Amino acid sequence: MAKKLVKSRRQFLQTTALGSAFASFSLPLIAAQKAADFTANLPESMRQAGKPFSNYGQPSPYEKDIIRWIAANQDMPGNGVSWSPLHELQGTITPNGLHYERHHNGVPDIDPATHQLLIDGLVEQPLSFSIETLKRYPQTSRICFIECGGNSNSGWRNIPIQSSAGYAHGLVSNAEWTGVPLSYLLQEAGIKPEAKWVIAEAADGASLNISIPIEKLLDDAILALYQNGERLRPENGYPLRLVLPGWEGIVNVKWLRQLRLTDTPVMSRDETAQYTDLMPDGSARQFSFIMDAKSLITSPSLGMHLSDNPGIYQVTGLAWSGRGKITRVEVSDDSGESWLDAELQEPILDKAFTRFNLPWQWQGQYAVLQSRATDDSGYVQPSREALVANRGTDGFFHYNAIVSWEVTEEGDINHVYPF
Ligand SMILES: Nc1nc2c(c(=O)[nH]1)N[C@H]1C(S)=C(S)[C@@H](COP(=O)(O)O)O[C@H]1N2
Ligand SMILES: [Mo]
């Protein structure tokens, strides 16, 4: 406790020096409703017997508006995305029902009793595994994010899109994945020396296939059976998916049915026509697997309104990096003129969401709130200006620039490009 006070005090002093509005924690300043008539009217719920038990719990009906926002492709049934409502969530774990979705061909209905995984190609001995067999191998758990390479792609547009934080940047979610380390199975099959790539193939509609360098699969790939403690949700790959921590969504193949070891990539649609980056010189960048560091203020953010109650607000958000751990998140309220370090909430995990927090004084002044993440490789999240200078404006994938929320004097929040 004493330690915390000292820390807050230092932040307060730093705040004064910068003349900025970031405040120390001083809870009594946050106006709460007076409790004078607390006992006068006991709530209705205390005078009734509650509802009975349920076999599988659901969120409160009062939370019915906390949903994934769906953008389905009208011309191609089963193709589209649904965004995770990051602006409505707290902590770092995405509940299974709100994990973002990206399907190229809808969600297949797969019976785990008959599903098989085949490992073949450049192996000593092709092997096939049922789900029951896989469950007999030692399993490991890993909390990590999965992010679509197309997440935040509206950032490439010339005009800032006015969508909520999650509905512009929520093609990323963070879960605890549990399953069998893939290295066990590859070693059991026996890797031939020529094998450099693995073509992962799925059991959905157009049997999505994608090439993955074998080193990554031997390093930390998981054949996931469980998601946040329960079996995978159908939309996230039931009964079996590949999880490649820190690597872009497309290589995290859902409904996995085959891994074929080869000496060259297969050059499939999703690694040539899609998920590549057109660069300013006209060349295309391919196989940009690692997701660069990124951060996002989830509150206050677009769609929220501040003016009813000026005073202290908690600036909070998420940061993550495909290269490793988040080491620092800085927050600015003046379009990046000055920055203060936010508190990083424990646990700070490798290739996983890290939550940051910083108390902020808002007394009706105009402000532009931004967050900037740094990871343990030393990589610093770029400004939009810097990203565009490096990558041009013809890109579509892999957008990770700083996001700016303008707070008006009325307390409305808009998305802006400050430069
Ligand atoms: N079989 C299969 N795997 C797939 C996809 C798919 O459409 N089919 N989409 C990929 C893409 S582009 C992403 S971003 C992630 C999305 O995973 P999620 O739906 O569990 O969030 O899965 C990847 N794996
Ligand atoms: Mo994706």
The 10s digit of each residue's pLDDT in 356-368 is 999 999 999 999 9
Ligand 1 atom 21, closest CA? 101
Q: What is the pLDDT of residue 18?
A: 47
Ligand 1 atom 23, closest CA? 250
Mind listing the pLDDT tens digit for each residue in 12-66?
Answer: 334 444 456 887 655 555 556 666 665 666 777 777 889 999 999 999 999 999 9
Tell which wins on pLDDT, 276 or 61: 61
CATH architecture of 294-416: Sandwich (2.60)
Pocket test for ligand 1, best of 101, 104, 171, 259 (most atoms within 8 A of CB): 104
Q: Is residue 5 predicted with pLDDT exceeding 60? A: no
Region 139-159 average pLDDT: 97
- Residues forming a β-bridge with 344: 356
Q: Is residue 131 predicted with pLDDT exceeding 90? A: yes
CA gap 193, 255 in Å, rounded? 28
Q: What is the pLDDT of residue 43?
A: 75
- Alpha helices of 213-356 — where are they, by DSSP H? 214-219
Region 139-146 average pLDDT: 98
Query: How are beta strands 127-130 and 294-299 bridged, if at all?
Result: unpaired
Mean pLDDT for the chain?
91
Q: Is residue 417 predicted with pLDDT exceeding 60? A: yes
What atom of ligand 1 comes closest to residue 150's alpha carbon? 14
Report the percentage of the chain scoring pLDDT > 90. Answer: 77
Give the count of beta carbons closer than 10 Å to the beta carbon of residue 298.
25
**Strands of 294-299's sheet in order across:** 294-299, 311-320, 354-362, 343-344
Q: What is the pLDDT of residue 3?
A: 34
Question: In this structure, are residues 370 and 419 in contact, taking their beta carbons and an 8 Å threshold?
Answer: no
Q: What is the pLDDT of residue 267?
A: 81
Span from the CA of 241 to the centroid of ligand 2 (angstroms):
14
Q: Which residues sit with their C-beta closer than 6 Å to ligand 1?
A: 99-104, 146, 148, 202, 204, 208, 235-237, 249-250, 252-255
My answer on whether omega of the bond before 239 falls inside 30° of 0, hence cis, is yes
Ligand 1 atom 11, closest CA? 250
What pTM did the predictor assign?
A: 0.92
- Alpha helices of 38-189 — where are they, by DSSP H? 131-134, 165-169, 182-189
**Conformation bin of residue 207: beta by default, left when phi > 0, alpha when psi is -120 to 50:** left
Q: Which ligand is nearest to the CA of 175?
A: 1
- Alpha helices of 75-155 — where are they, by DSSP H? 131-134
Mind listing the pLDDT tens digit for each residue in 289-338?
Answer: 999 999 999 999 999 999 777 899 999 999 999 999 999 999 999 999 99
Ion ligand 2 residue ranges (Cβ < 5 Å): 102, 148, 249-250
Tokens of 188: 């059991």
Range 217-239 burial, b when 16+ CB lie within 10 A, else e: beebbbbbbbbbeeebbebbbbb
Report the percentage of the chain scoring pLDDT > 70. Answer: 91
CA gap 136, 16 in Å, rounded? 59
Which range among 43-47, 123-127, 180-184, 361-365 shows the weakest confidence by mean pLDDT?
43-47
Domain coordinates of the chain in residue numbers? 65-285, 294-416
The pLDDT-based confidence of 9 (bands split at 50, 70, 90) is very low
Q: What is the pLDDT of residue 29?
A: 54
Q: What are all long-range contacts of 386-391, with beta carbons under 8 Å and residues at least 24 apart?
A: 391/277, 391/279, 391/280
Q: What is the pLDDT of residue 284?
A: 83
Q: What is the pLDDT of residue 275?
A: 78
The pLDDT-based confidence of 76 (bands split at 50, 70, 90) is confident
Q: What is the pLDDT of residue 308?
A: 73
CA gap 390, 400 in Å, rounded? 12
Give the single-character DSSP code of 242.
E
The pLDDT-based confidence of 160 (bands split at 50, 70, 90) is very high
Pocket test for ligand 1, best of 73, 98, 103, 259 (most atoms within 8 A of CB): 103
Q: Is residue 258 predicted with pLDDT exceeding 60? A: yes
Tokens of 235: 């939309």
The pLDDT-based confidence of 282 (bands split at 50, 70, 90) is confident
Q: What is the pLDDT of residue 201?
A: 96
Span from the CA of 298 to the centroid of ligand 1 (angstroms):
24
CA gap 373, 382 in Å, rounded? 9
Region 74-102 average pLDDT: 95
Q: Please, which residues have CB within 8 angstroms of residue 8's CB and are 6 or more apart in sequence? A: 24, 25
The pLDDT-based confidence of 144 (bands split at 50, 70, 90) is very high
Q: Is residue 2 predicted with pLDDT exceeding 90? A: no
CATH H-level, domain 65-285: superfamily: Oxidoreductase, molybdopterin-binding domain (3.90.420.10)
Which range among 158-172, 276-290, 365-379 shows the weakest confidence by mean pLDDT?
276-290
CA gap 160, 404 in Å, rounded? 10
